[in-house]
């Protein structure tokens, strides 16, 4: 079983059970997760939910590799994103307490399964990222919503660069709500399941982290659209700007353009509005060659050398980016 449900002491426990695939979420798991959550929402005997990943990691994201491998079955791409995004919204509307344990890797679709719950618990080995621009896609599962709500353009920085965040930055930015020492996780689970208690562990934020100490610089560098961001980075002589420029030059140019517009436009919008926009966008972007090339290069052959088309930001214009945002398929009707 790739997803396991159990009930104990008024707690519904969900275990993502694909450890060899770092618990990547596939369409069957998302369907079962949705069904069970709706059942528990109506069940008065269930007071809270605990979401964990089997093995050393929480969830490496949605199973986009399967989308590439079944690329001739076009309906799969439509159904996968529809079910996944509806599940993201369902979690946001779930009326009972919802705790996720962010152990190990938490990326993309794994963020979408947890960030809309009440508590996200990070440990010393948590590795959080939205790495979609590396595979010709964009930060989805409501990424436009939660990234646009982070301070000082840091959400755009995270979404475009795929920056790996650890517990310090996650606590500083409020992406994680609680910290717990990895060694004490078993007692934490027992306390939550038995008594509904999350014992708080003190966490001292280190303000010398790369993200925190450069947050004002990030704010100025990541202001505007993708063309302005590249101009800002080129004109800034700091080591941080040079390093960031180098990172962005390896990402999919069209993904960068689309992701920037997506996050800029999301400011002030609801999660429901953001997911509707992302669904329309997904059904344009997944049929681009960049998506197939990116997934193949990063997740299948793992040569990490995708050929993007267009290959540079300078080969894109605003009209091309805007075209991807046109509504063209049925809505999610959240």
Sheet of 48-53: strand order equals 3-8, 11-16, 48-53, 97-102, 119-122, 178-179
**Residues 293, 136 contacting (CB under 8 angstroms):** yes
**Cβ–Cβ < 8 Å for 248, 230:** yes
Over residues 9-68, the pLDDT tens digits come to 999 999 999 999 999 999 999 999 999 999 999 999 999 999 999 999 999 999 888 887
Residue with tokens 């560098």: 221
pLDDT in tens, 165-198: 999 999 999 999 999 998 989 999 999 999 999 9
* Residues with active-site annotation: 62, 109, 132, 140
- The burial class, CB within 10 Å (0-12 / 13-18 / 19+), for 323 is exposed
CA distance 221 to 182: 35
Per-residue CA distances from 226 to 178, 207, 238, 278 (Å): 34, 28, 19, 18
Q: Is pLDDT of 70 > 80?
A: no
DSSP string, 37-64: HHHHHH-TT--EEEEEESTT-SB--B-H
Nearest alpha carbon to residue 87 among 56, 55, 59 = 59
Residues 159 and 263 sit within 8 Å (Cβ to Cβ): yes
Q: Is the pLDDT of residue 71 over 90?
A: no
Beta strands in the chain (DSSP E): 3-8, 11-16, 48-53, 97-102, 105-107, 119-122, 127-129, 178-179
Residue 73 banded pLDDT, cuts 50, 70, 90:
low
Residue pLDDT, tens place only, 239-277: 999 999 999 999 999 999 999 999 999 999 999 999 999
Average pLDDT along the chain: 95
| CA distance linking residue 136 with residue 288, whole number of Å | 8
Q: What is the largest CA-CA distance in the chain?
A: 60
Domain 3-131+162-195 belongs to what architecture?
Alpha-Beta Complex (3.90)
Cβ atoms of 2 and 26 within 8 Å: the answer is yes
Q: What is the pLDDT of residues 208-217, one digit of tens each?
A: 999 999 999 9
Give the pLDDT band (50/70/90) at residue 77: confident
Q: Residue 327: how many CA atoms within 13 Å on its side-chain side?
A: 7
Look at residues 134, 161, 128 and name the one whose alpha carbon lies nearest to residue 241.
Answer: 161
Q: CA torsion angle for 109, 9, 95, 22 (degrees, to 10)?
A: 0
- Range 295-321 average pLDDT: 93
pLDDT band at 224 (very low <50, low <70, confident <90, very high): very high
Query: Which residue ranges make up each domain of the chain?
Result: 3-131+162-195, 210-323
The whole-angstrom separation of Cα 87 and Cα 224 is 31
Residue 72 has what pLDDT? 63
Determine contact, residues 15/52, Cβ cutoff 8 Å: yes
């Amino acid at each position: 079983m790739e997803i396991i449900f159990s009930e104990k002491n008024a707690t519904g426990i969900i275990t993502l059970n694909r450890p060899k695939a770092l618990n990547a979420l596939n369409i069957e798991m998302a369907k079962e997760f949705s069904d069970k959550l709706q059942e528990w929402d109506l069940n008065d005997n269930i007071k809270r939910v605990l979401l964990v990943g089997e093995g050393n990691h929480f969830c490496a994201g949605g199973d986009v590799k399967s989308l590439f491998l079944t690329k001739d079955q076009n309906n799969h791409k439509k159904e996968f994103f529809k079910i996944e995004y509806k599940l993201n919204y369902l979690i946001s509307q779930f009326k009972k307490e919802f705790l996720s344990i962010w152990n190990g890797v938490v990326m993309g679709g794994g963020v979408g399964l947890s960030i809309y719950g009440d508590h996200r618990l990070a440990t010393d080995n948590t590795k959080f990222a939205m790495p979609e621009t590396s595979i010709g896609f964009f930060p989805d599962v409501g990424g436009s919503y939660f990234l646009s709500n982070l301070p000082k353009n840091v959400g755009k920085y995270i979404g475009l660069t795929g920056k790996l965040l650890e517990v310090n930055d996650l606590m500083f930015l409020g992406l994680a709500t609680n910290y717990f020492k990895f060694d004490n996780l078993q007692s934490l689970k027992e306390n939550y399941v038995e008594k509904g208690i999350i014992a708080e562990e003190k966490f001292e934020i280190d303000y010398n982290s790369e993200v925190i100490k450069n947050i004002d610089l990030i704010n100025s560098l990541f202001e505007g659209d993708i063309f302005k961001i590249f101009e800002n980075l080129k004109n800034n002589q700091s080591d941080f700007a040079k390093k960031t420029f180098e990172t962005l030059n390896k990402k999919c140019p069209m993904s960068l353009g689309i992701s920037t517009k997506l996050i800029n436009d999301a400011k002030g919008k609801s999660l429901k509005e953001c997911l509707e926009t992302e669904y329309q966008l997904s059904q344009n972007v997944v049929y681009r060659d960049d998506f197939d090339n990116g997934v193949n290069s990063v997740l299948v052959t793992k040569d990490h050398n995708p050929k993007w088309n267009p290959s540079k930001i300078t080969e894109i214009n605003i009209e091309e980016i805007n075209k991807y945002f046109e509504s063209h398929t049925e809505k999610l009707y959240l």
